[in-house]
């Protein structure tokens, strides 16, 4: 008998693994849908960027916003959480069947709502709103039931819980707004509801969810978990979600501007804490190399801080509704923060899922590639640079009203997305039908025979 090192008492929790993750098709279908939408948005980017120079009430901008927020951001968040929540919580997903149902409802709603918004057509608005509400309610129910069964709930789990509440609020406003769009029932309260909907969706759901996921993943990817500063993560949660709810509720009720300013400042403080935590983790990381997700995550955090700062500035300076500042803040939140973070984490999450499906059965039998060998690193960094520059220029163009600059920004955004999507195609190319598992096992058996 030989002992390489004395081990402590075995305390195997027995329930901590990816065996709790659902069948890969559930996250994969949402991810695939999001990539399809991103491809369409890349093609359209040179023509859609000038929309940011117009009114926030332009039906084309409303449709464009939802192709981004629902088609890309929500699709990736839903897909990623069906995969990640069971792994993070060490608890199986409460229902994969309902998860699949949520996908079809989501797809239907994603097609109907933008058509309704574009044409102001009540049946499509109601169908889209209803289908999306069903999809989101199913998602909320599934994740909430999983959270309830989790053995313990840490700061990341609480980010998920708070994000679900934010989503519920955002969906409620969304459905009311969709009905209102065709009927006008809200009358003069429409804008208050619109502002509340946008704020709670982006601040109370997307920002809170992405911060929680980042805390879990960044430490793991960079070997910096020991440096994670938990009190700051709790403070960030209170400030980000609290700020978003105060702002959204005050906008809804038409309360004093000072309270909106307080909400925006809390949101800003929360996002600044998030950015600080990320910078701290990256500084203290044991894995020294520049992993591709790092520039994406830092850019996203900076854009989030900038968006919240603009919001606060808007309330402090009493900017009129027609000010481009509101659109710039929204654009920075949607593209600069959420979609940049999503691209960075996609390189990690989707690549891992493909690796798990294709190469995990071969591990230990033969040399298997590292995750970063599944895509082009330089292309990923070039994509990040083009995309970030494009998003920044589009914001500047909207701010100063420069049409020519917005066309240039559109080209850069499109180029950045193309680089990203080429890498996505490379990663997807490694995906094989489940038969590959058997093929892998056969390969292993042959390997053993040849060794013997």
Partner 1 sequence: MTTTAISSERVMEALKGVIDPELGINVVDLGLIYDIVTGEDTVRVVMTLTTPGCPLHESISEAVETAVQLLVPGVSTVEVDLVWDPPWCTDLITEDGLRELGWR
Q: Does residue number 212 form part of the binding site for ligand HEM (CB under 6 A)?
A: no
99 binds ligand HEM, rule: CB under 6 A = no
Nearer to partner 1, 216 or 252 (CB): 216
The nearer residue to ligand HEM, 76 or 239, going by C-beta atoms, is 76
Pick from 283, 318, 370, 433: which binds partner 1 (CB under 8 A)? 370
How many residues at the interface with ligand HEM, by CB under 6 A? 29
Nearer CB in complex with partner 1: 10/318: 10
Q: Which of 182, 225, 259, 431 binds partner 1 (CB under 8 A)?
A: 225
Task: Check binding of 433 to partner 1 (CB under 8 A).
Answer: no
Q: Is 69 in the site for ligand HEM (CB under 6 A)?
A: yes
Site residues for partner 1, window 90-119 (CB under 8 A)?
Answer: 90
The least CB distance from residue 402 to partner 1, in Å, is 42
23 binds partner 1 (CB under 8 A): no
Interface pick for ligand HEM out of 25, 36, 100, 190 (rule CB under 6 A): 190
Q: What is the 3-state secondary structure (H, E, C) of the chain?
A: CCCCCCCCCCCCCCCCCHHHCCCCHHHHHHHHHHHHHHHHHHHHHHHHHHHHHCCCCCHHHHHHHHHHHHHHHHHHHHHHHHHHHHHHHCCCCCCHHHHHHHHHHHHHHHHHHHHHHHHCCHHHHHHHHHHHHHHHHHHHHHHHHHHHHCCCCCHHHHHHHHHHHHHHHHHHHHHHHHHHHHHCCCHHHHHHHHHHHHHHHHHHHHHHHHHHHHHHHHHHHHCCHHHCCHHHHHHHHHHHHHHHHHHHHHHHHCCCHHHHHHHHHHHHHHHHHHHHHHHHHHHCCCCCCCCCHHHHHHHHHHHHHHHHHHHHHHHHCCCCCCCHHHHHHHHHHHHHHHHHHHHHHHHHHHHHHHHHHHCHHHECCECCCCHHHHCCHHHHHHHHHHHHHHHHHHHHHHHHCCHHHHHHHHHHHHHHHHHHHHHHHHHHCCCCCCHHHHHHHHHHHHHHHHHC
Q: Does 142 bind ligand HEM (CB under 6 A)?
A: no
Binding ligand HEM by CB under 6 A: which of 175, 207, 269, 350? 175
Question: Would you tell me which residues interact with partner 1 (CB under 8 A)?
Answer: 1-13, 16-19, 21, 87-88, 90, 216, 219-221, 223, 225-226, 286-289, 348, 352, 355-356, 359-360, 363-365, 367-372, 444, 447-448, 451
User: Contact residues for ligand HEM (CB under 6 A)?
Assistant: 56-57, 61-62, 65-66, 69-70, 73-74, 113, 129, 132-133, 136, 171, 174-175, 177-178, 181, 190, 194, 197-198, 201-202, 206, 330
């Amino acid at each position: 008998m030989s002992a390489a090192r004395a081990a402590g008492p075995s305390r195997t929790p027995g329930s901590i693994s990816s065996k709790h993750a659902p069948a890969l098709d559930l996250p994969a279908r949402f991810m695939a849908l999001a990539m399809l939408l991103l491809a369409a948005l890349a093609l359209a980017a040179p023509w859609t960027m000038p929309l940011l120079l117009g009114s926030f009430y332009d039906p084309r901008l409303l449709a464009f916003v939802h192709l981004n927020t629902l088609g890309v951001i929500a699709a990736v968040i839903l897909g990623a959480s069906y995969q990640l929540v069971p792994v993070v919580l060490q608890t199986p997903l409460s229902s994969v069947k309902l998860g699949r149902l949520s996908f079809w409802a989501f797809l239907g709603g994603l097609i109907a709502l933008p058509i309704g918004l574009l044409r102001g057509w009540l049946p499509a608005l109601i169908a889209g709103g209803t289908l999306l509400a069903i999809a989101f309610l199913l998602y909320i129910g599934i994740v909430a039931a999983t959270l309830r069964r989790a053995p313990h709930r840490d700061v990341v789990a609480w980010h998920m819980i708070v994000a679900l509440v934010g989503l519920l609020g955002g969906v409620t406003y969304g459905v009311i707004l969709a009905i209102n769009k065709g009927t006008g029932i809200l009358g003069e309260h429409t804008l208050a509801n619109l502002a509340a909907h946008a704020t709670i969706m982006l601040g109370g759901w997307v920002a809170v969810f992405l911060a929680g996921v980042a805390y879990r993943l960044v430490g793991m990817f960079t070997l910096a978990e020991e440096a994670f500063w938990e009190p700051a993560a709790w403070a960030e949660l209170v400030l980000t979600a609290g700020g978003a709810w105060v702002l959204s509720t005050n906008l809804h009720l038409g309360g004093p501007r000072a309270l909106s300013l307080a909400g925006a400042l809390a949101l800003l403080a929360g996002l600044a804490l998030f950015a600080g935590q990320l910078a701290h983790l990256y500084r203290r990381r044991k894995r020294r190399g520049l992993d591709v997700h790092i520039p994406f995550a830092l850019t996203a955090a900076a854009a989030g801080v900038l968006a919240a700062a603009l919001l606060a500035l808007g309330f402090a300076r009493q900017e009129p509704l027609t000010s481009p500042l509101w659109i710039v803040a929204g654009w920075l939140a949607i593209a600069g923060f959420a979609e940049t973070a999503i691209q960075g984490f996609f390189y990690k999450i989707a690549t891992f899922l493909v690796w798990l499906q294709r190469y995990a059965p071969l591990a230990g039998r033969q040399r298997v590639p590292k995750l970063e060998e599944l895509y082009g690193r330089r292309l990923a960094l070039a994509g990040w640079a083009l995309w970030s520059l494009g998003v920044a220029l589009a914001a500047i163009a909207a701010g100063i009203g420069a049409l020519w600059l917005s066309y240039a920004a559109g080209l850069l955004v499109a180029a950045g997305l193309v680089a990203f999507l080429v890498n996505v195609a490379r990663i997807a190319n490694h995906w094989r039908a489940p038969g590959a598992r058997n093929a892998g096992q056969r390969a292993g058996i042959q390997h053993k025979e040849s060794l013997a």
